[in-house]
């Protein structure tokens, strides 16, 4: 089973994060998990935080078809526009998948999704920056919000981990990109403390970065 990389030649990347090694690593991780996602998870409600150009959700929506609904969120209105364009451009005029794009911050309105998310994906801002740079990116709502990760590059990631137990469905799964500066072991420990299981799906060096994608799910209690 494979995921096709969506066409993005229509996107103006001046204020939108252009797919790079981290994006393609996430696509590779999802491709390796696609059979599990289709046959075991069978997602009905899918959520992407930080959809950017829309390549991740579009690839998944194309592969999963009409059985899954996608909600794509980004704080950057230009990224939201790009996601809409990518979804439309790669649908080939067919309504074989359903998706909505919402301009919102990470947690805005997500409390209403309590236990509803079957498949969650996120390539968060993971670059370690001063915390005020992360805060500034949330205020400016531009492409900086795609990479400025605050202290240890984990300001958004830690919020996500705390949020996941309340929004994932009982069999729901989350796939999140990490970089070595995020402290892989620390993320796993925080996930465990939050009641989540954490497994590395794929790990790859990209230039100076050591990237990984982790799979998070509600830890089963025997």
> How far does the chain reach from its first CA to its final CA, in angstroms?
32
Joined together, the tokens standing for residue 145 give 């919000």
From residue 128, how far is each of 132, 140, 197 by CA, in Å? 11, 18, 25
pLDDT interval class at 220 (50, 70, 90):
confident
Is the model's pLDDT at 189 over the cut of 90? yes
User: How many CB atoms lie under 10 A from the CB of residue 81?
Assistant: 18
Domain ranges of the chain: 21-218
47-91 pLDDT per residue, tens: 999 999 999 999 999 999 888 999 999 999 999 999 999 999 998
Task: Please return the burial class of 101, using the count of CB atoms within 10 Å of its CB with bins 0-12, 13-18 and 19+.
Answer: buried
pLDDT at 65: 87
pLDDT interval class at 112 (50, 70, 90):
confident
User: How many CB atoms lie under 10 A from the CB of residue 76?
Assistant: 24
196-206 and 168-179 as β-strands: parallel, antiparallel, unpaired? unpaired
User: How many CB atoms lie under 10 A from the CB of residue 90?
Assistant: 21
pLDDT at 90: 92
130-182 pLDDT per residue, tens: 999 999 999 999 999 999 999 999 999 999 999 999 999 999 999 999 999 99
β-pair partners for 101:
72
* More reliable by pLDDT, 94 or 88: 88
Q: Could you tell me the sign of the dihedral formed by the alpha carbons of 94, 98, 104, 107, in that order? A: negative
The pTM for the full model equals: 0.95
Q: Which of 3.30.1330.10, 2.130.10.10, 3.40.50.2300, 3.40.50.150 would CATH assign to domain 21-218?
A: 3.40.50.150
pLDDT at 62: 92
Find tokens 């690593």 and name the residue. Answer: 25
Answer whether 52's CB lies under 8 Å from 146's CB.
yes
Per DSSP, 40 falls in state I
20-48 pLDDT per residue, tens: 999 999 999 999 999 999 999 999 999 99
Among the residues of the chain, which ranges form H helices? Answer: 21-32, 34-36, 55-64, 77-89, 131-140, 155-167, 184-193
pLDDT interval class at 222 (50, 70, 90):
low
pLDDT at 93: 54
| CA R_g for the chain | 16
């Amino acid at each position: 089973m494979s995921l096709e990389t969506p066409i993005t030649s229509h996107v103006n990347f001046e204020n939108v994060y252009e797919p790079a090694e981290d994006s393609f690593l996430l696509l590779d991780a999802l491709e390796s998990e696609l059979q599990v996602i289709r046959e075991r998870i069978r997602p009905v409600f899918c959520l992407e935080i930080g959809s950017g150009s829309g390549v991740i959700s579009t690839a998944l929506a194309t592969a999963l078809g009409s059985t899954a609904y996608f909600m794509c969120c980004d704080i950057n209105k230009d990224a939201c526009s790009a996601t809409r364009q990518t979804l439309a451009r790669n649908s080939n005029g067919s309504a074989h998948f359903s998706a909505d794009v919402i301009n919102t911050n990470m947690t805005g309105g997500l409390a209403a999704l309590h236990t509803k998310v079957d498949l969650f994906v996120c390539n968060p801002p993971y670059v370690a920056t001063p915390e005020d740079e992360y805060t500034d990116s949330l205020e400016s709502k531009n492409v900086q919000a795609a990479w400025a990760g605050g202290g240890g590059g984990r300001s958004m990631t830690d919020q996500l981990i705390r949020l996941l137990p309340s929004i994932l469905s009982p069999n729901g799964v989350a796939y999140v990109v990490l970089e070595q500066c995020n402290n892989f072991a620390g993320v796993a420990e925080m996930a465990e403390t939050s009641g989540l299981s954490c497994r590395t799906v794929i790990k790859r060096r990209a230039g100076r970065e050591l990237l990984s994608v982790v799979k998070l799910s509600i830890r089963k209690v025997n």
